[in-house]
Chain A
Amino acid sequence: MQNSDDLDRINRFKNGDTAAFGEIVLAYQDKIYNLCRYMLGNAHDAEDAAQDVFLKAYQALPRFQPDASLYTWLYRIAANTCLDYRKKPVFASLFGDSGEGERLVHDRASDAPSPEQLYHSKQIGRELQISLGKLSPKLRAIIVLKEIEELSYEEIAEILAISMGTVKSRIARAREELQKSMQKFREQNP
């Protein structure tokens, strides 16, 4: 299932129009950056990895088969790039601090929250982000694809090249570990 804009961009790119690739980057940069940001935990690594994702896509796009959708293909490159990204202790610099030039959006932003609500949601966000950092990269990838990117099990299975059964069991495990870790965090930081 291919989005018609994407199909047009892919065809133009295959015919030598490199500007069409710029349109692809512009269309998907936020999604890919956000995934990298959650996977790697800081703005600097996220930008570095997200740039690599698009460079890999640029090189591989001539051989891309349009029967797969472009965004799942890009997510797949992004997930692999982040899983392979420098094997160093991630989250040394915690999420939370937004990097220079980085922009934040609250996807499901409600009406202007009160300072108390804001403080409360910041607290929850912090708990969650610290707990996410403690998950294994594989579990982190799957729960971010589910809860942040809101993808279906089928899409996640395609992106991570795993079976639907594995998607189901890993998501359940990621939830369980996150809940335990957040609970522990609350007990230690009352």
Chain B
Amino acid sequence: MSCPKTELISAYLDEEVRSGDRAALENHLPGCAQCEAALLDMRSLRSAFAKTDRHQAPYGFTTRVMARTAELKSPSPHPLPSGERIKVRGWFIPFSIRFAEAAVLLMVIFVGIMAGSFMTNGSSMAQTANLASSLSLDLFDAAPPGSLGGAYLAMTEASNEK
């Protein structure tokens, strides 16, 4: 037998070779340093894999998964291709909602800019005063008729005059 492909040696290591091929390979190996070395390298790679860590799911994993399944609607009865490539997360927000969000955000920014320039602009102090008076609570009585507030205000005014 001439030297087999590494593919066959690799399958031999995994015990995935037909019996005829296996017998031929086992006859060939002892006389071929190159193929023996290839098999030895694959074996040492396997032992490196055996020494690496196996990871277990973190504590509370099942609880977290079950909490997320509870947020989903009950499983869909519509056929989907064998479970793969299903969009799990709600990335797909309807365009109308995205548009509304963008519009609100722009309005907030606009109002913020206007408020900023309004408050920092010194020349508009008079306007500010007008606005302040128009916004003041003078329209309302400080003490509604019949309340004790009126008596209290009268007392404090009297004491201030003294």
Does residue B160 face the partner (Cβ distance < 8 Å to A)? Answer: no
CB pairs A–B below 8 angstroms (27 shown): A25-B66, A29-B62, A30-B56, A33-B55, A34-B56, A38-B55, A43-B55, A43-B58, A47-B58, A50-B61, A51-B61, A51-B68, A54-B69, A55-B65, A58-B69, A59-B76, A60-B82, A60-B83, A62-B77, A63-B80, A105-B54, A121-B51, A124-B52, A147-B46, A169-B7, A171-B11, A175-B45
Using CB atoms and an 8 Å cutoff, list the residues of chain A in contact with chain B.
18, 21-22, 25-26, 29-30, 32-34, 37-38, 43, 46-47, 50-52, 54-64, 73, 76-77, 80, 84, 98-108, 121, 124-125, 127-129, 146-148, 152-153, 168-169, 171-172, 175-176, 178-179, 182
Residue contact B42 to A175, C-beta cutoff 8 Å? yes
User: Nearest Cβ in chain A — how far from B85, in angstroms?
Assistant: 7
CB nearest to A152 among chain B residues: B16
Residue contact A168 to B10, C-beta cutoff 8 Å? yes
Tally of contacts, chain A with chain B, CB under 8 A: 169
Other-chain residue from A37, A106, A125 in contact with B48 (beta carbon distance below 8 A): A125
- Residues in B with CB closer than 8 Å to A38 are 55
Using CB atoms and an 8 Å cutoff, list the residues of chain B in contact with chain A.
5-7, 9-11, 14, 16, 41-42, 45-46, 48-62, 64-66, 68-69, 72, 75-77, 79-80, 82-86, 88
State the CA gap A148–B65 with chains docked (Å).
24
Knowing A62-B77, A178-B45, say if A33 contacts B83 (CB, 8 Å).
no
User: Nearest Cβ in chain A — how far from B123, in angstroms?
Assistant: 53
Other-chain residue from B60, B66, B86 in contact with A60 (beta carbon distance below 8 A): B86
Residue contact B6 to A18, C-beta cutoff 8 Å? no
Knowing A34-B55, A147-B46, A148-B49, say if A175 contacts B10 (CB, 8 Å).
yes
User: Nearest Cβ in chain A — how far from B2, in angstroms?
Assistant: 18
